[in-house]
Structure 1
Amino acid sequence: MYDSNDPDFSLLDLFICFTHCPLLENLVIPISMGDWHFRRCLPDELPPTIGLSHLSHLYLDFSYAVDPCRLFDRLFLPALICLELTMSLGHITDWHHVQTMLANSRPPLQSLILWSVPMTEETLIGCLSYVPTLNELELHGMPCSDRILDSLTVDEAGADGSRYLCPWLETVNFGTTKEDNCDFSPRAMTDMIVSRWRDAKNSGFTRGNTLTLVVCRFKFSRIRSNPEIAQCLNDGLVLTRRTY
């Protein structure tokens, strides 16, 4: 979607694309210049809503210190299926604007891939609460703890399945590099996996699909001897620990 011979796109270029291409369906673009650039700044006043009702696939790669928060807070993307976002905002610890966009749009999102997007676990959980249709989740360079796994664990007290996130989730990738410091306990990993497999089996797979793949730096050898995990593996679950 972009000319590789002229890769220096700014936030202004992205804004113009969003506002002048209402029938846009797919967008893949690297943004290397933010509002700090003296020539290509966003306007002081932006429309309250930037709507693209046909946009289904959005892949944005923002260079260091480029912050698209003013755009994301206004985006209305009701048809969005796939979102991949790469950022480098070392001075920010909780970039909540993905959550704002998802809350405004309530899209039928199936794939969410985030690279180094700075957000707290609370904000990430908030993002997931707005995308019950999600079946693929990838988080790279975003440290996670048992709180994330607990949020993805089926609460058996909620018989209608409404008390856990992303019931259609099939694949989860928490990253495989040293920057992906996910501190998971055997208890939390076991509970998340087993609960989702048990729920899918009990519902006859009518409400959602179960996990088929979990990828992260977690030492799965610590839980493989668990009889219920062994049964999940026998039924087709794949647990992958790659380190780079």
Structure 2
Amino acid sequence: MRWPPQACETTAGFDLLRGCPSLETCAVAFVESIPPATGSVPSVSICRMEHLRHLTVLDNEIPGGTVDFFKHLDVPNLEFLEYVTGHVEKFPFTPLLTHSLQRLSLNMKYLASETLIGCLGLLPTLHELFIQHDPFSYRGTPRHPGNTSLAAMNPVAPTHDVLCPQLRSAEFANFTAGLSDDMALEFIRARTESQPAGIARFQKFRADFNRPKSVDTALQQLVADGLDLTLHYDDDGVKYSPAQENDIRMPNGELSFDGWRRAW
């Protein structure tokens, strides 16, 4: 649905949702709104959706749009949140991050690792994570690549300091400089070998790199032990996978977003 359904009525979108109390899946695309011609903006009461399990939000970065939407939405049983936008400095959907959320999909070109860490720190029961485009770090030089969020999920610190201790599946698409092969290997091994108490063992790891392969993955034993592993690299413009899996390509050769989400 386009939000708001009627540009002159700020409560119209929530009225529509309240009329669908049994809704389980919802996709919302924010569009440019037109303020009421006269009068003040009506107050909006909390919209509680008991049965909503899957929410997709396309944020066109309308000022204040998604902030008000998430602030007035109560979804106590939400399991899967998908958020698509250009860039964020602070996630507007934090009011929805509850222990019921098990799957999170983030699709944005400009995402700081520090922002991602703050988000993942609110999701101790998250099982599946998908990220489109690698995060960067604000630290050091501007746009200096670095995936400090990945390091924060490595169980090398005390268990209570590890982000997403229940994470079982991680998928990264269109990653370039923010995730080196060495860092990926360290992350995979840390979440699959000699797991400390309270840390879930990885069942699936998939990554799509917009760069050539730099080191030998040498993870055959983990695959033999049951890890669902796929690593795609771009070598001289030709993408390949050690697992030789079939995938879905767009005309420009990139792995399609729907192709990566197919298994979710």
Q: CA deviation at 1:165?
A: 1.8
Whether 1:54 aligns to 2:51 is: yes
| Unpaired segments ≥5 residues, structure 1 | none
Structure 1 equivalent of residue 120 of structure 2: 128
Structure 2 equivalent of residue 25 of structure 1: 24
TM-score normalised by length of structure 1: 0.72
Q: Counting helix residues as a fraction of each chain, which structure ranks higher?
A: 1
Letter matched to residue 225 of structure 2: D
Structure 2 equivalent of residue 189 of structure 1: 184
Q: SS of the residue aligned with 1:236?
A: coil
Cα distance 1:174–1:182, how it changes in 2: closer, same or farther (>3 A)?
farther
Cα distance 1:134–1:121, how it changes in 2: closer, same or farther (>3 A)?
same
Structure 2 equivalent of residue 208 of structure 1: 200
Q: SS of the residue aligned with 1:175?
A: strand
Letter matched to residue 30 of structure 1: A
Structure 2 equivalent of residue 236 of structure 1: 226
Letter matched to residue 232 of structure 1: L
| Unpaired segments ≥5 residues, structure 2 | 137-145, 235-253, 255-264
Structure 2 equivalent of residue 71 of structure 1: 69
CA contact 1:146–1:185 (8 Å) conserved in 2: no
**Identity between Structure 1 and Structure 2 (%):** 22
The total of aligned residue pairs comes to: 218
Whether 1:224 aligns to 2:217 is: yes
Cα distance 1:117–1:199, how it changes in 2: closer, same or farther (>3 A)?
farther
Q: CA deviation at 1:221?
A: 4.9
For 1:170 and 1:20, the matched residues in 2 are separated by 36
Cα distance 1:96–1:118, how it changes in 2: closer, same or farther (>3 A)?
farther
Q: SS of the residue aligned with 2:151?
A: helix
Structure 2 equivalent of residue 109 of structure 1: 101
Q: Deviations over 1:20-56 (max 9, x none)?
A: 444432212433x233x3569x945333x43323211
Q: CA deviation at 1:81?
A: 0.6
TM-score normalised by length of structure 2: 0.67
CA contact 1:28–1:58 (8 Å) conserved in 2: yes
Q: CA deviation at 1:59?
A: 1.6
Whether 1:148 aligns to 2:128 is: no
Cα distance 1:111–1:164, how it changes in 2: closer, same or farther (>3 A)?
same
